[in-house]
Structure 1
């Protein structure tokens, strides 16, 4: 019997408690998306997870199972810079250059796009915008509230709104004739336009986050019967996410440790990935130059006055460690030593002693996280490693391991196994 403190959620609220959706669509988001994914994980529904999965004994949906909503969630955090890029392309500025090259390289659930003005590829940076919002939410908004979606896209990317056409965001279904949202639209696909709405890297999905957390609640044993605790070994055994990243192994091993201690878990509300922190303390203005050819003079390094206007949070609530989107741009009228408009490339990193030449330099200072809520209990029986069933008469494809071209390619879908 549940304690008097335990209760069910009335619904799963939108990420960050965003107010984009009307009430009926908030309910639909809860039932048809979050609960659908969670129930599919719990029941091993082959429409949600791959065939051969077992039902989950230590994962629950809070709208179906009572739990103490006042208990503080357990947080899992990781650095946002792509670990696969840093491992494969060591040294600065090479790994910054590679991470800026493509959104597909940005695989730690934080993506960004850089605007350099007229000199699109080599000029000083005018703005960098970061987001950790999953594609499913934006696709739902575009499908159910098209006008609100278009207004929001233009508002968030206001410097480019006059160039946007409504047709840029939709494709025509040749069978039904309906217009269908295109997540890879020109305004949300590239790392060099300065425009962005949501994550697009194939592994960076909200459903993948739920899948990793859910499948990580399964306690695993190796062929010798020993309980598996190593983060990368757990991923390979349970086949969720990708080894070698900061995010997936950290999520999986941390959640699995809670499960081994007996906890039954769910994703804490509101279900989403969040920017937990962005450390801006190393940054100052160089009011003289954007060049690293000579070290800046101390008298030219000035504190960033009104940092909230330069580091402008546009969605989510960073004060609650639930940031979703931030735009870094120097407001018009901020002048330098020679009367010039200051740019993002006038920002100087005192810690690394370089100017900002790449958006990826900021990624070093972001912390991303996901939280779990739970109930105390007993650990379930350890399971053997998951083995996807092979189709009869078909040689199974080699499983993608994320290392063919590290950070620059991915599975053609979410990271769900």
Structure 2
């Protein structure tokens, strides 16, 4: 780290206002996480893709100073899922709204299958994804709806908080996470046990990174789109592509220039393969980033990196009694305005907002109209606001244009390290099924994060699981090595296959899982480490950065 820069928490959120030590621990962990995600984004894919490496125009502000007066630009898009309208134009507006809110049409049928690949035009018969309890809400904004006994909406929670932040909070203090769930959702009945990770036998899983119970990101209070006193709610993002690590990876990949140009955002995303075409978010973010670079810039996400809800346009709203409809919009987390290093940043920095009418008004959200239509769906509100990220650009010549991304072949295809887990966490998440409207096989492992697991100095034979892609089958296990000093990893037993969505991916794919034993010398240098995965008989490929975090012996428990 060559600059005094530090990544701020999303919206510069202070979640330990009365405990400076815990706030400092959270900020330190967050800085480590963002450094790791940035390293991963800049690495690209040198293992099994062509024209997906050599990222020179996305920079890590921990290594490259940002000059005074650097250009800051906000990139915005609609919060309503764009792919629903693209794939199902034959459905009425009401049916599209029903799908966006619930995952079901009004006839109780879920999404029709996707019949054509949007990039190739070839026929396919793929269940609509991303999968999960609200996976289809894939514009980095998710919501849950609370209705009264008459079916009228009394509250909608909109959230864009990334799962990595909430996993980081849990690492510092699970009890604070509980307090925030209770106060933000207005549900004091939530218990700490509701948030724990359980194994297939419903026993609490202890996370070796902290020595405390693990966190279930799809717990009963952060799952699905219906919210009640018994379950449901939206606390942070859960759709598998809705992660901050993905956003950094997308922005990094989009800096590579392509010979096809950048006039068509969906053609560019199909060429560069950094997201899903026909979302409102990915194609627009990628095209805007690509154009910034083409004008002679290097870019990074502006501090604090994050995804942010913007204030709705209330001009089409009407209330029964003439009350300003904006009065019912409440920012629960985040802020309307925010100062960066060089003054006020563009746009709003809202992380969680609710739309609810106080009971003493005598009417509900459903008695308010938008464009003369009563609010029957949360998606009607989502259509009235935008999402944003903010990018910072500094002068740097654009790199040469490349052909589109393609697969490697033969001996050029190397084993790709994907993710490293403590074994108990992997087993619990990989064997816990997740229900979804299209009834696709899915387990909780697709809702894991790429936060590097912690392993303390002096730890011996720590059981861990590594997932990888393009691992050669056979009797000879791939070699595994950790970058830097004093850390060894030994593959034990045979490999197995797992089908899951690596965090950030919209759809699951086949991966190989390997059981490892990791040992760390007592004098090993603390910090993030990369990992090499090498097929037998092949040369060693690039390391995947930031897959493990070596910490001092006393730094495991932060509570």
Q: TM-score range by the shorter chain?
A: 0.7 to 0.9
Q: What pairs up with 1:216-231 in 2 under 5 angstroms?
A: 216-221=254-259, 226-231=260-265
Note if contact 2:6-2:62 (Cα within 8 Å) is conserved in structure 1.
yes
Note if contact 1:240-1:415 (Cα within 8 Å) is conserved in structure 2.
no
Q: Which runs of 4+ in 1 moved over 4 A?
A: 49-52, 174-178, 390-394
Select which of 234, 237, 242 maps to 1:196.
Answer: 234
**Residues 175, 333 of structure 1: alpha-carbon distance in 2 compared, 3 angstrom cutoff:** closer
1:36 aligns with 2:36: yes
1:214 aligns with 2:252: yes
Note if contact 2:207-2:213 (Cα within 8 Å) is conserved in structure 1.
no
**Equivalence for 2:195:** 169
Note if contact 1:8-1:67 (Cα within 8 Å) is conserved in structure 2.
no
Q: Secondary structure at the match of 1:115?
A: strand
Q: What pairs up with 1:175-186 in 2 under 5 angstroms?
A: 178-186=212-220
Cα distance, 1:72 vs structure 2 = 4.4
**Equivalence for 1:348:** 369
Residue deviations 1:59-117 (CA, integer Å, cap 9, x gap):
10112101125434111111111111123154321111110014222111111000113
Residue deviations 1:297-331 (CA, integer Å, cap 9, x gap):
xxxxx3224843x1111111124511111111111
Structure scoring higher RCO (CA < 8 A, sep ≥ 6) equals 1
Q: Compare 206-215 and 227-236 and name the one that shifted more.
A: 227-236
Select which of 249, 253, 262 maps to 2:296.
Answer: 262
Q: Secondary structure at the match of 1:204?
A: coil
Note if contact 1:41-1:55 (Cα within 8 Å) is conserved in structure 2.
no
How far apart, in 1, do the equivalents of 2:4 and 2:393 lie?
Answer: 13
Residue deviations 1:181-211 (CA, integer Å, cap 9, x gap):
1111111011011621101111111111111
Note if contact 1:73-1:268 (Cα within 8 Å) is conserved in structure 2.
yes
Q: What pairs up with 1:85-234 in 2 under 5 angstroms?
A: 85-87=84-86, 88-89=88-89, 90-102=91-103, 103-118=134-149, 123-158=151-186, 160-162=187-189, 164-171=190-197, 172-173=204-205, 178-193=212-227, 195-221=233-259, 226-234=260-268
**Equivalence for 1:293:** none
Q: Secondary structure at the match of 1:242?
A: coil
Q: Runs of 5+ in structure 1 lacking a partner?
A: 1-6, 287-301, 335-340, 397-404
Note if contact 2:97-2:377 (Cα within 8 Å) is conserved in structure 1.
yes
**Equivalence for 2:474:** none
How far apart, in 1, do the equivalents of 2:101 and 2:411 lie?
Answer: 43
How far apart, in 1, do the equivalents of 2:101 and 2:48 lie?
Answer: 33
Superposition TM-score, scaled by structure 2 size = 0.61
**Residues 285, 95 of structure 1: alpha-carbon distance in 2 compared, 3 angstrom cutoff:** same
How far apart, in 1, do the equivalents of 2:281 and 2:207 lie?
Answer: 39
Q: Secondary structure at the match of 1:368?
A: strand
Q: What pairs up with 1:15-34 in 2 under 5 angstroms?
A: 15-20=10-15, 22-31=23-32, 33-34=33-34
Note if contact 2:5-2:62 (Cα within 8 Å) is conserved in structure 1.
yes
**Residues 68, 416 of structure 1: alpha-carbon distance in 2 compared, 3 angstrom cutoff:** farther
Aligned residues: 363
Q: Secondary structure at the match of 1:93?
A: helix
Cα distance, 1:390 vs structure 2 = 6.0
Residue deviations 1:334-376 (CA, integer Å, cap 9, x gap):
1xxxxxx211111112x2x111111111011010011110111
Alignment RMSD (CA, Å) = 2.8
Cα distance, 1:178 vs structure 2 = 4.8
Q: Runs of 5+ in structure 2 lacking a partner?
A: 17-22, 104-133, 198-203, 339-347, 416-437, 447-499, 507-559
Q: Compare 66-75 and 183-192 and name the one that shifted more.
A: 66-75
Q: Secondary structure at the match of 1:78?
A: strand
Q: Secondary structure at the match of 1:130?
A: strand
Cα distance, 1:134 vs structure 2 = 0.8
**Residues 69, 29 of structure 1: alpha-carbon distance in 2 compared, 3 angstrom cutoff:** farther
Residue deviations 1:30-82 (CA, integer Å, cap 9, x gap):
12x11111122224487xx9766413110101121011254341111111111
Cα distance, 1:233 vs structure 2 = 1.8
Q: Which one has the bigger helix percentage?
A: 1
Cα distance, 1:170 vs structure 2 = 1.1
Select which of 404, 408, 412 maps to 1:385.
Answer: 404
